[in-house]
Amino acid sequence: MYKMMTPGPTQVKENVRLARARECGNPDLDEAFFDFYKETCELISQLLHTQNETLILGGEGILGLEAACASLTEPGDRALVLDNGIFGEGFADFVSLYGGIPEMYTVDGKNPIDVQALEKFLEKNHDYKYATLVHCDTPSGILNDIGTLCPLLKKYGILTVVDAVSSMFGEEVRVDDSEIDIVCGGSQKAVSAPPGLTFVTVSADAKKAMAERKTPIASFYANLQIFEGYYEKKWFPYTMPISDIYGLRAAMENIAADKGMLARHAKIAKECRELLTEAGIKLYLQSGFSSTVTVFDVPEGTTAQEILDIMRKERHILLAGSFGSLAGKVVRIGHMGSNANEKDMAETMEALLQTLKKLGVELKGR
């Protein structure tokens, strides 16, 4: 077996695993489970500092992103896709899939989206129904400032859809302060529950836009409106994965009790970057480093696969490569959620540096 130090899925604590082993009732008919589901949703809203309703969906994080676009997009709607990473760019596919017209705002992928430059663009270009953006783009680790970008977009009357799947609970997400209309999270990143659930928090403005549609939402499963009134009706649109939700609740209670969570993520991320830099290993990004994932360039003379293979087979630690335009060019270390602890990170970094030395990479000070 290996130690999982990837940027999702992450290590899962024992109490989360045990929660998933609870005896199952019938989530379609058990009124107590409707209370449990609603209370879990309210806890997530509380942890995200919002009065907005949260919904837990039975599917991996991508479902939340697609459901946000499906629920907002009507044929011909223009959407602004803020793109400085692979997942940022990917939002355009969801917009197009539901008949919308994506307009790309593509900038340097090694730095965060510049707020002032975006404002200059919006002064002349702001006829969009909604904008999509990624808080932390996992393939590169870039972190965008949703606390300033989303209020700027709202200033121009643009709804916002934020992918916070790999940042949430490793970076601060304050939904109401940031005026985010739909924010999407996932169970398998810093939440540190197994893959299989996504959750979305939906503002009153987003609900109004859905209610005022002239055409029906072109999906059933990726449709946020179908949950309307679920608690009062005691009716879910599909059978809820009850064991997964038991586990998610335990993970959220772990987060609520972890008062030093964000500070610990920031400290471990900083130490990770400093250690790599001091050893002469080049970080992929120039700025905008996330506290949940560190990405470094593959040194000359070796390959990403060689590094990953030795780490997994000889050191029993699982790291990750990347994909898309970054495939084979970088290696990613996930220090999010349960991974973000000093012991595992120290073991991981020592093993990584020894692996690089074994592959003939010349390290400074080693």
Q: Is the pLDDT of residue 1 over 90?
A: no
Q: Is the pLDDT of residue 233 over 90?
A: yes
Rounded-to-integer distance, Cα 320 and Cα 20, Å = 27
Q: What is the pLDDT of residue 366?
A: 65
pTM over 0.85: yes
Distance CA 4, CA 320 (A): 10
pLDDT at 349 over 80: yes
Place of tokens 């010349």: 362
- CA count, 13 A, side-chain hemisphere, 276: 24
The tens digit of pLDDT for each residue in 153-178 reads 999 999 999 999 999 999 999 999 99
Using CA of residue 10, residue 11, residue 13, residue 18, what is the dihedral sign?
A: positive
CA distances from 156 to 124, 137, 219, 342 (A): 11, 24, 29, 43
- Whether 117 has a pLDDT exceeding 90, the answer reads yes
Q: What is the mean pLDDT of the chain?
A: 97
Specify the amino acid at residue 269: A
pLDDT at 251 over 70: yes
Q: Are 201 and 1 in contact (CB under 8 A)?
A: no
Reading the block at residue 325, the tokens are: 């335009």
Cα separation of 171 and 164, whole Å? Answer: 9
- Residue owning tokens 């998933």: 20
Q: What is the mean pLDDT of residues 78-89?
A: 97
CA-closest candidate to residue 255, choices 172, 179, 346, 342:
172
Q: What is the pLDDT of residue 23?
A: 95
